[in-house]
A and B are shown apart, each in its own frame.
Chain A
């Protein structure tokens, strides 16, 4: 997959080699969209689809590349990345990007929106769709993320999943590690190598009855 995704990324950046920040999410996103999420360009509005909410909205090139590779929009759009007439901004806008469940950029909004999405699905007896929210390790600094973690565990929101891309970018880190934050909130947690597709897949599909599930995907440190 990487050759084609790298080509798609290069359409946005003009660069075949990308810094870790730009590609930190690439492998995890690909495994999710390729093997886990039950959603396609044909089912983007279906009530029973799985939802993917990109909360960490900065550096969305990997996200756009995956969406283009999966046919949510033509790859010709990628070249206009960030330009006035392009729907693809440096932060995504759900009203402009086909397949994007939320617009993001400001950190800490995705997980509460994911909580509400699960609540809304549950209230409509839609217990099959799974909701995935991608956040960054530094995004855990936001209090709103802690509000969502602390609520979702005791509330038993087992349709909710959080993918934490850990590139060690938080200035103060999480004492005890990121997994401990989720475990304290009553979540199921797996920590894996964020570049290893089989590890990612196994973690993404691990059973977690009655509890929300977090996957911490470790990648190269941002400032290494």
Chain B
């Protein structure tokens, strides 16, 4: 099985053959994955070198001429480093693009914090009008990417080496119910689904699966919590903990509710190692999630200071 980034390069290369409006803008990262496409479409596969401000500006400039740019590098360098370009060259100019990141929150733990980007989705949350896709499987990444390139809007596709065993059907829209229960709602985002399903085995909870987190599917959440009494919601996100807590609160503003936002901790670990070790360190492995979710639903979870 290929990973999401490999699928992205293969899928986008095919899409370049089909859609003359499409262009890919790179800053060296994944250049090899697009080598064939660059030979076939030299004007529509552009590598600007190690220049991330130019990466976003050039993509936006292509959009000014009516092209549909797919702009790609690691998340740290795509969203965080040129953030003002993302805000102004796309948002303020009223332009669209498909930003596709690789690297997730800690796909290369041995590379250290410089290549980690747990805050990317939270950062984009400060901007208006972004659709954010967080696929949990290469098949989902392909489907969401194909959906994204068709439009003219601003889309962020967050690719990761973390993935679930099996793909879910995705539409590029709202949350999907994968398990039904009555004791609370757990929202599993992208690659977190397998761990959430394992963690909640035997619990009387509804599990919603989100591969599109912005716009936040508040209607699906309201339906899932549409029972008398209090709504208990747990978010399990593969990026900064609490990123979608505000969106959850907004969706449930008119009813009593509690929200627990699980995800990557804000504190820098300063550890290398393997993905699994980081998952565990942030409490996102199935056993840790089982304790956190169970404790929260039982009302015995101690908030972390």
Contact = CB atoms under 8 A, between A and B. Distances in A.
Contact of A112 (B23, B53, B65, B69): B53
B44 A112 contact: no
Contacts of A114: 61
Contact of B57 (A94, A103, A112): A112
A109 B64 contact: no
B89 A151 contact: no
Interface string A79-120: 000000000000001110000011100101101111111111
Contact of A118 (B48, B61, B85): B61
A116 B94 contact: no
Nearest to A112: B57
A147 B54 contact: yes
Contacts of A10: none
Given A95-B94, A109-B85, A120 B61 contact: yes
Interface string B35-76: 000000001101011010110111111111111010000000
**Most A CB atoms within 10 A — which of B54, B59, B61, B64?**
B61
Interface in A136-167: 143-144, 147-148, 150-151
Contact of A116 (B44, B64, B92): B64
A210 to B, nearest CB: 16
Interface in A158-197: none
A21 interface: no
Contact of A108 (B44, B53, B92): B53
B276 interface: no
A120 B25 CA distance: 11
Contacts of A113: 57-58, 60-61, 64, 89, 93
Nearest to B61: A116
Contacts of B23: 119-120, 123
A122 B43 contact: yes
Contacts of B85: 109, 112, 144
Interface residues of B, number: 30
Given A102-B93, A106-B88, A144 B46 contact: no
Given A123-B23, A151-B48, A116 B62 contact: yes
Nearest to B62: A120
A147 B53 CA distance: 8
Contacts of B204: none
B6 interface: no
Nearest to A110: B57
A33 B67 CA distance: 26
B84 A116 contact: no
A94 B51 contact: no
A124 B41 CA distance: 11
A47 interface: yes
Contacts of A51: 64
A198 B84 CA distance: 38
Interface of B: 23, 25, 43-44, 46, 48-49, 51, 53-54, 56-67, 69, 84-85, 88-89, 92-94
Given A116-B60, A119-B62, A123-B67, 19 more contacts: A51-B64, A94-B93, A103-B92, A103-B93, A112-B54, A113-B57, A115-B57, A116-B64, A116-B65, A117-B62, A117-B64, A119-B23, A119-B58, A120-B61, A144-B85, A150-B51, A151-B48, A151-B49, A151-B54
14 contacts: A51-B64, A94-B93, A103-B92, A112-B58, A113-B60, A116-B61, A120-B61, A120-B62, A120-B66, A123-B44, A123-B67, A124-B66, A144-B54, A151-B54
